[in-house]
A and B are shown apart, each in its own frame.
Chain A
Amino acid sequence: MKHDRILLAHGSGGLMSQRLIDEIFKKAFNNDIMEPMLDGAILDLPAGKLAMSTDSFVITPLFFPGGDIGKLSICGTVNDLLACGAQPLYLSTAFIIEEGLPISDLRSIVASMAETARQVGVKLVTGDTKVVEKGSADGVFINTTGIGIIPAGIDYLPQRINSGDKVIVTGNIGDHGLAILAQREGLSFSTPVLSDCAPLYQLKDMIDKYQDAIRCMRDPTRGGLATVLNEIAVQAGVGIRVKEADIPVSVAVQGACDMLGMDPLYMANEGKMVIFVAAEAAEDFLNDLHKMSQTENAALIGRVSPEPAGMVLVETELGAERILGVLEGEHIPRIC
């Protein structure tokens, strides 16, 4: 390809668009379903309930410690499908590219999408590319939509959560949010913080093994752990009590948050899952999580109680209880 930056002509639908698709997207995503290049992907699906999820990625910077927008765009949708109890199968993707994006950047983003999809075993089967004028987007925006099959008997609705169920988080929280903030604002810490961005495909086995004992799952992305717990407390009509000291946070993230006046409980995660598990299965479940590389820092952080319905309470290190509320507006560092 002669040009080293994306031009508006790359989105014209003409020869340049064709080349961009052939040389970058098709080459990377290469699979039998995309190959015929029809107007849509034709899929042969096994019987059962289908889960479908969509997410758009507009992150700045495009490349960050621990990942990039490409990897993120796969992880986000794959993790959402897993949270529904589905085995992710197929993804579509749509790119909105800002004129002037270096083609080398696009190439690495697409390569990292392909690599992440390969890890998970999902196929990118259809896509779209648009190019917009400089200033109308920020580098590149990516949408992915995915479908997965939910095995028979699995039904992870919040309403299945009962009093007494345990709350498990699959690893240290806040890494992604802090890594992005640090990169964006040019903050550097003696221990660099990497985004936890990861597709949690190892959980597929846990769904197979534990099935019904898993009550409900949710990935704590934007808004963090606190937001997800609140959503579930409301949807399930239960109280959730977590113990502050049991919530896993790395020393680097905790230290940086203390300094900035931020709370890791509200920082985004891109490779974590909050899982509600039946009390009797919780110990085995946690032990199994500890055996897998993606979830070796998993921790049991709390339990479900009938009261106060719709609320999350934190037991502090002093043994007092406080409300863990939802975030109002933006989560911002303090002034002094």
Chain B
Amino acid sequence: MNNGKKYQQDLLEGILSADENISLMEVCGTHTMAIAKSGLRQILPPHIKLLSGPGCPVCVTSQGDIDAIIELVQNEDIILVTFGDMMRVPGTRSSLQEERSQGSDVRVAYSPLDALRIARENPQKEVIFLGIGFETTTPAVGLTVQQAREEGVKNFSVFSVHKMVPPALELIFSDPEIQVDGLICPGHVSAVIGVEPYEILAQKYNRPCVITGFETLDILEGIYMLIKQKQKRQARAEIQYRRVVKPEGNPVAREVIARFFEAVPARWRGLGVIPDSGLKLRDEYADLDARKKFNITEMEEVPIKGCACGEVLMGKIMPAECPLFGRGCTPLQPVGPCMVSHEGSCAAYYRFTPAKGRS
């Protein structure tokens, strides 16, 4: 047995020997995916619970925002550029994928800079980049805005549905209905925001937070560290993912976010409006803000009938407890976004968990 394997075994034994009840929430969609792939949930005893949190950017995008975007792409002068994960998310009546098949120009990109290139190549069209994601993806969008401004590209704008993670975590900790004893905190987001936001949360709500990497070994170590803290009645913010996350985070990336964006209240699917949790382009970049350029008003939030994505995102129920899970809602024909996004918790449970282990 090599060292890694031995250490993994030790960690697993340490975790399994914890006899106290504990509920931990993995905040990030990438963790949800990694945990589901590792099969960890199936080998944990029932008193050690892993809940999935609101850390999948596609899943928490509000129905209203998606409807507004779908309405935009019906304008034939508009090219919408977005990350692939958004294509299949159902709006109230349609999805971007369906709109594309009916002639809308929706393109999938890997970088916001691709959208700027498309704008340069199509000067007669309006090119909108759908900016989605947390603190990890926002800086690149900020720099794209800067480049658009410097080059004087007039037919480019950003529809920002960017959000910040800490305000949502605060909401979860402060909700008495949600029993979460500690947080498995996102690795990539924390590489930007650093440990401080979690220190504030850990202290205020007296619950431990551990910034964790994405390998199985990372996740085991993160869970072990959380359990140890709980056993010692501690509530600190710690970094397990030290090879990537520095305590101070990435100040340069944060400065870029602050330079181009300001915090605004934002509607999260299932969580409602959270103060200071959204990011909109600052007024000096209003000409590059698609919401202003196209005069987008807040759309009404029409809930999807029977869909419990909201409760799933808050860790109130497990995906399989949703009445639609695996019946009316599957990855092939998703009803709610948690089943669409490949980092959505419903999709992760559905794809990886054998039927007997789903409940």
Per-residue contact bits, chain A 202-213, to B (CB 8 Å; 1 contact, 0 not): 000000000000
Task: Check A55 for interface membership: any CB of B closer than 8 A.
Answer: no
Task: Check B287 for interface membership: any CB of A closer than 8 A.
Answer: no
Contact B8 A317 (CB under 8 A): yes
Task: Check B324 for interface membership: any CB of A closer than 8 A.
Answer: no
Given contacts A330-B84, A333-B84, is CB(A318)–CB(B43) below 8 Å?
A: yes
Contact B30 A261 (CB under 8 A): yes
Q: How far is the CB of B219 from chain A (nearest CB, A)?
A: 10
Given contacts A332-B108, A334-B30, A335-B58, is CB(A320)–CB(B42) below 8 Å?
A: yes
The segment from A2-10, A27-35, A73-81, A321-329 that touches chain B is A321-329
Q: Which of B29, B36, B108, B354 contacts A334 (CB 8 A)?
A: B29
Per-residue contact bits, chain A 307-325, to B (CB 8 Å; 1 contact, 0 not): 0100001001111111101
Interface centre among A185, A316, A328 (most CB of B within 10 A): A328
Query: In the complex, which residue of chain A has the Cβ closest to the Cβ of B189?
Result: A336
Contact B57 A332 (CB under 8 A): no
Interface centre among A318, A323, A330, A332 (most CB of B within 10 A): A318
Chain A residues, Cβ within 8 Å of B216:
316-318
Query: In the complex, which residue of chain A has the Cβ closest to the Cβ of B114?
Result: A185
Q: How far is the CB of B140 from chain A (nearest CB, A)?
A: 11
Task: Check B299 for interface membership: any CB of A closer than 8 A.
Answer: no
Query: In the complex, which residue of chain A has the Cβ closest to the Cβ of B217?
Result: A317
Given contacts A318-B12, A322-B352, is CB(A335)–CB(B36) below 8 Å?
A: no
Chain A residues, Cβ within 8 Å of B133:
335-336
Per-residue contact bits, chain B 39-72, to A (CB 8 Å; 1 contact, 0 not): 1101100000000000001100000000000000
Task: Check A258 for interface membership: any CB of B closer than 8 A.
Answer: yes
Chain A residues, Cβ within 8 Å of B74:
none
A221-273 with Cβ < 8 A to chain B: 258, 261
Task: Check B37 for interface membership: any CB of A closer than 8 A.
Answer: yes
Docked Cα-Cα span, A293 to B214, in Å, equals 35
Contact A318 B85 (CB under 8 A): no
- Interface range on chain B: under 10, 10 to 19, 20 to 34, or 35 or more? 35 or more
Chain A residues, Cβ within 8 Å of B39:
316, 318-322
> Interface residues of A: mostly helix, strand, loop or mixed?
loop
Q: Which of B12, B188, B331 contacts A336 (CB 8 A)?
A: B188
Docked Cα-Cα span, A322 to B40, in Å, equals 10
Contact A336 B137 (CB under 8 A): yes
Chain B residues, Cβ within 8 Å of A321:
39, 42, 354
Query: In the complex, which residue of chain B has the Cβ closest to the Cβ of A185?
Result: B110
Query: In the complex, which residue of chain A has the Cβ closest to the Cβ of B347?
Result: A328
Q: Which of B37, B40, B331 contacts A328 (CB 8 A)?
A: B331
Contact A325 B137 (CB under 8 A): no
- Interface range on chain A: under 10, 10 to 19, 20 to 34, or 35 or more? 20 to 34
Contact B353 A322 (CB under 8 A): yes
Chain B residues, Cβ within 8 Å of A325:
351-352
Docked Cα-Cα span, A62 to B32, in Å, equals 37
Contact A328 B36 (CB under 8 A): no
Task: Check B1 for interface membership: any CB of A closer than 8 A.
Answer: no
Chain B residues, Cβ within 8 Å of A185:
110-111
Contact A320 B43 (CB under 8 A): yes
Task: Check B285 for interface membership: any CB of A closer than 8 A.
Answer: no
Docked Cα-Cα span, A220 to B115, in Å, equals 33
Given contacts A332-B84, A332-B108, is CB(A323)–CB(B342) below 8 Å?
A: no
Query: In the complex, which residue of chain A has the Cβ closest to the Cβ of B33?
Result: A261
Contact B58 A318 (CB under 8 A): no
Q: Which of B83, B88, B189, B353 contacts A329 (CB 8 A)?
A: B88
Q: How far is the CB of A324 from chain B (nearest CB, A)?
A: 8
Docked Cα-Cα span, A329 to B216, in Å, equals 27
Q: How far is the CB of A264 from chain B (nearest CB, A)?
A: 12
Docked Cα-Cα span, A332 to B340, in Å, equals 12
Docked Cα-Cα span, A271 to B134, in Å, equals 39
Contact B354 A313 (CB under 8 A): yes
Docked Cα-Cα span, A63 to B308, in Å, equals 47
Q: Which of A318, A332, A336 contacts B342 (CB 8 A)?
A: A332
Chain B residues, Cβ within 8 Å of A333:
83-84, 110
Given contacts A332-B342, A333-B84, A334-B342, is CB(A319)–CB(B30) below 8 Å?
A: no
Interface centre among A320, A321, A333 (most CB of B within 10 A): A320
Q: How far is the CB of A267 from chain B (nearest CB, A)?
A: 14
Chain B residues, Cβ within 8 Å of A328:
331-332
Q: How far is the CB of A71 from chain B (nearest CB, A)?
A: 26
Chain B residues, Cβ within 8 Å of A335:
57-58, 83, 85, 132-133, 137, 343
Contact B214 A323 (CB under 8 A): no
Query: In the complex, which residue of chain B has the Cβ closest to the Cβ of A320?
Result: B39
Docked Cα-Cα span, A127 to B342, in Å, equals 42
Docked Cα-Cα span, A336 to B86, in Å, equals 13
Query: In the complex, which residue of chain B has the Cβ closest to the Cβ of A322?
Result: B352
A275-320 with Cβ < 8 A to chain B: 308, 313, 316-320
Docked Cα-Cα span, A195 to B80, in Å, equals 32
Given contacts A261-B30, A316-B39, A319-B43, is CB(A336)–CB(B354) below 8 Å?
A: no
Task: Check B136 for interface membership: any CB of A closer than 8 A.
Answer: yes
Docked Cα-Cα span, A320 to B219, in Å, equals 15
Q: How far is the CB of B130 from chain A (nearest CB, A)?
A: 11
Task: Check B38 for interface membership: any CB of A closer than 8 A.
Answer: yes
Chain A residues, Cβ within 8 Å of B188:
336
Docked Cα-Cα span, A312 to B37, in Å, equals 14
Chain A residues, Cβ within 8 Å of B134:
336
Closest A-B pairs by Cβ, 8 of them: A320-B39, A332-B84, A322-B352, A336-B136, A328-B331, A316-B39, A336-B133, A322-B39
Q: List 26 A-B contacts (CB under 8 A).
A: A185-B110, A261-B33, A308-B354, A316-B38, A318-B38, A318-B40, A319-B39, A320-B39, A321-B354, A322-B37, A322-B354, A323-B351, A323-B354, A328-B331, A329-B87, A329-B332, A332-B83, A333-B110, A334-B29, A334-B30, A334-B85, A335-B83, A335-B85, A336-B29, A336-B188, A336-B189
Q: A322-B354, A335-B83 are in contact. List 19 more A-B contacts (CB 8 A).
A: A261-B343, A316-B38, A316-B216, A317-B216, A319-B43, A320-B40, A320-B43, A321-B39, A321-B42, A322-B37, A322-B38, A328-B331, A330-B87, A332-B84, A333-B84, A334-B29, A335-B133, A336-B133, A336-B134
